Amino acid sequence: MNYARTAIMLAAMTGLFLAIGYLLAGEAGMLMALLVAGGMNFFAYWNSDKMVLSQYGAKEVDARTAPEFVGIVKRLAGRAGLPMPRVYIMENDQPNAFATGRSPENAAVAATTGLMRMLSREELEGVMAHELAHVMNRDTLTMTITATLAGAIGMLANFAMFFGGSRNNPLGIVGVIRVAILSPLAAMVVQMAISRGNEYVADRTGAEISGNPLALASALQKIEQVSLRIDNRVAEAHPETAHMFIINPLHANKRDSLFSTHPATSNRIAALQELAQSSGGRPSRTVRRRRFRKGPWG
């Protein structure tokens, strides 16, 4: 997804802030909402990664505490020409992973203990290469800011529903109720539109980094099958963060529809199998030249 389209979608979410603020307190509420949206964007830029990692109880690890896992990330980052990200582990039985951070120089990748127990080394490499692809494509900032804004829009919509809006609003109480219901849905549509396009690109780029599209395809299949049977309670409590994971951690999503946080896993697997076939059945070893300098680990 190009930067212009993403910027338009983020602007649309900010516009929802203004609409809800207007319904709460007229023009003064709209101005207040604008200030809040600006403040939240600034805060999210600098702190959204820390917030998400903290929500999921992620613990930072290093070469001493998790040598094999950190070694995998280090080698893949070197192949991609990326700075070494911070590495985290989440104590969670559901297999899953995500990346976050405002830039490649400030990125972090996180995986659950369930993921590390379930996958083979090659499959784990495929998953972490996918997450590093999000870092490389600078999706991580967009995803974390989107999660922050979506959560805030839901909060403001509930606030509007509870207080009934301003007497000065032109839509009346019925309009307030409609906007309070539709605003979170609109935010979710924007959020999903950003996420779904990014996943296909990250799959392909991740396959290039790891050099093994079929390992990533196998990992996606395993993760989906197991994650549907295991709850991720933090994700259920914070559904606005679901789009950040490699596979949707929520159980409501079962098909490739408008409200899906991710494309259908079967479609992603088919695309990866096609990529592997186009390379003659051999793992791809081509990674495009990146604009990031390799660190001393690469």
Cα separation, 220 vs 123, in Å, equals 9
Three-class SS state of 97: strand
**Three-state SS across 133-170?**
HHHHCCHHHHHHHHHHHHHHHHHHHHHHHHHCCCCCCC
What sign results for the dihedral spanned by CA atoms 124, 126, 129, 134? negative
Q: Choose, from 123, 131, 199, 240, the residue flagged as catalytic.
A: 131
Apex 152 CA angle, 147 and 153, nearest 5: 100
In the numeric block, which tokens belong to residue 134?
A: 């999000």
Judging by beta carbons within 10 Å of its beta carbon (0-12, 13-18, 19+), is residue 8 exposed, middle or buried?
exposed
Cα separation, 271 vs 217, in Å, equals 9
Residues 246, 131 contacting (CB under 8 angstroms): yes
Active-site residue, 274 included:
no
Cα separation, 138 vs 132, in Å, equals 10
Amino acid at site 271: A
The DSSP H or E segment spanning 166 is: none
CB-CB neighbours of 283 under 10 Å: 15
Catalytic residues: 131
